[in-house]
Structure 1
């Protein structure tokens, strides 16, 4: 089973962040400054041994690879930031390309959204996203070629895998992919495998998906949208009932601050971890292109504060059990040998396999147990 974790490269300084967020800003600033939004809220999340690493340090990348191998992960899917020729956060992957001793499978996910100040509540765009035409597509592909040709890059039948975060945003998607396939042939590659990540794209049947080889069920986004679409009224009733029981049976006063909690629950800001995972496991596999997705946890309050969505009830043990069920489902229903996990190190949204002070190595340990129990460990990871 090729278990691939999404990996964000935000943990080092770049001039653009210095300019807009302040000298020396990285994603760790949001993590450190997070505060509990309600009683019992697990914030701030603290890396084990205060390991607020710098991704430009080789030792950090070596540590991550060693850890991933030890616990049975197959590879990383690094977010790739390309804005019509402009690059951001590219240095960690360029360093990996040059250092063959950092030996671990990887692929790219093009995070093709504009770079904005959205999480602050402002709509200001810092780096717009444009897609250009053939000259621009060629420049992008030629930047990717050294990665695609690297022996560590994840391929299917010799074809490099390239994930697009939001293909529905690309008005020239089909033309661009057709041109890339031609360029792949020109460079001696047998082709290129295109995967989508967007929950919007996967759930909207009106999009032309003819050029997309696989659609990743990015979680918890896909399950959350399905729950909202199909069970919104029922869930709203359940949330009301839960709050009523808290008030009446346990004499909890939900006036004042508690009313704010009620409003958040009504807006689906506190989804159930168990309900979401049960939706993932029970979802009907109705398309041969689908690839299953897993998630460790979700809590984006370090970025969105009181507007955050916080999944309730996550534990490493639950993750391990649900992940085990998903592996079985992948083998029996999806019949694919990929699972994409949210995430290796998305600390700003509460999704990470890396160890923290509360769970220690719990998510990694339970991932390994699930892979081992289902005979899904890749030989090259030991």
Structure 2
């Protein structure tokens, strides 16, 4: 009997106001602020993007989270991988996760990804990037406090677990200088609480560069798409360009085709969705740590404007076609049956499954159809 793939969609909680965002980007800031300001920058550019029925929700409303979970359940999305922000006891954007924790009817499976990167204004900064919050990893008292907070989610019946081990993602493990010690300590605490340890994973944009001992402490690396594929494509492109130069064949035209001029000294980088998707479904990761990824689309110009990157050519039909291929690829070439999908609601980065005014529910329906066709 074929095992069913578990599809987890990345979930961004930045759809409610917090004082920290208000102080940097203005009162009332949420992810919708950038989405609403987005502009069409070239002919085939799909902007602005408007949620169906102008549903600019706030995630402090548990009914909206229930609506999201109900949509996911009815269209073949098995769970949410939710970003969590912790800066030595300072929590940011924690309300949606805590609403899920405190309301048993919000029972879609979840897992936490600790977004341990610095909290800064990098995506909007024109000049020097300002770091607003960072993590002091040397504070071992904070390790215990942080674990105790995470434990309140690990104990949920709908928290993703394998073999009595809750799954926990770390976005950038290489930022943690005492990584081995932290992981060992959290495993000890988890065992004291009746678990058999924690199954750690990390977001793989490239292969984890830490020493083998550190990498061995992770059960999984999640191929974070589309960036994981971009790196492979760009590496291949650099080799091709070098060969072209050696053969004295001008390559500037092909390079410039990837960019669109918006105004003097500013460029938006373009990528073809089908090229990236084909690279993803062609991956054959025999490493038993690898969890496959896929993506709906990418366009971060609502955040970065003319410094952004846009994948053009994604439609529900094209997405469905490559999702079918990826489900088959996972079944044949991966040692586990997970798929991590970018994304449920990354509206300001062009990756979302929620219905919009152009396509309605078609992306969600594409997942349901792909699963019906493949039986996976």
Unaligned runs of 5+ in 2: 245-249
Per-residue CA distance 1:268-314 (angstroms, 9 max, x = gap): x2112111111111123141110000100000001000000001211
SS of 1:80's equivalent in the other structure is strand
RMSD: 2.3
Bigger helix share: 1
Partner of 2:247: none
Partner of 1:251: none
Structure 1 residues 157, 21: closer, same or farther in 2, change over 3 A?
same
Q: Does 1:116 align with 2:120?
A: yes
Structure 1 residues 158, 323: closer, same or farther in 2, change over 3 A?
same
Partner of 2:7: 3
In the TM superposition, structure 1's runs of 4+ consecutive aligned residues that sit over 6 Å from their partners are 235-239, 258-261
Whether contact under 8 Å (1:296, 1:319) holds in the other structure is: yes
Q: For the residues of structure 2 that align with 1:314 and 1:282, how far apart are their CA atoms?
A: 18
Whether contact under 8 Å (1:320, 1:366) holds in the other structure is: yes
Q: Does 1:87 align with 2:100?
A: no
Shift of 1:213: 0.6
Shift of 1:234: 3.5
Q: For the residues of structure 1 that align with 2:285 and 2:264, how far apart are their CA atoms?
A: 39
Q: For the residues of structure 1 that align with 2:263 and 2:271, how far apart are their CA atoms?
A: 17
Summarize the alignment of residues 113-192 of structure 1 with structure 2, pairs less than 5 Å apart. Answer: 113-121=117-125, 122-192=128-198
Partner of 1:250: none
Q: For the residues of structure 1 that align with 2:260 and 2:160, how far apart are their CA atoms?
A: 53
Q: For the residues of structure 2 that align with 1:241 and 1:41, how far apart are their CA atoms?
A: 20
Shift of 1:133: 3.8
- The counterpart of 2:106, out of the listed 81, 102, 108, is 102
Partner of 1:50: 54
Whether contact under 8 Å (1:166, 1:201) holds in the other structure is: no
Summarize the alignment of residues 271-350 of structure 1 with structure 2, pairs less than 5 Å apart. Answer: 271-350=271-350
- The counterpart of 1:240, out of the listed 229, 250, 253, is 253
Q: For the residues of structure 2 that align with 1:368 and 1:353, how far apart are their CA atoms?
A: 12
Partner of 2:34: 30
Bigger strand share: 2
Partner of 1:15: 19
Whether contact under 8 Å (2:220, 2:291) holds in the other structure is: yes
Whether contact under 8 Å (2:10, 2:342) holds in the other structure is: yes
Structure 1 residues 89, 276: closer, same or farther in 2, change over 3 A?
same
Per-residue CA distance 1:163-209 (angstroms, 9 max, x = gap): 1111111111111001010000111111110011131344x476641
SS of 2:201's equivalent in the other structure is strand
SS of 2:270's equivalent in the other structure is coil
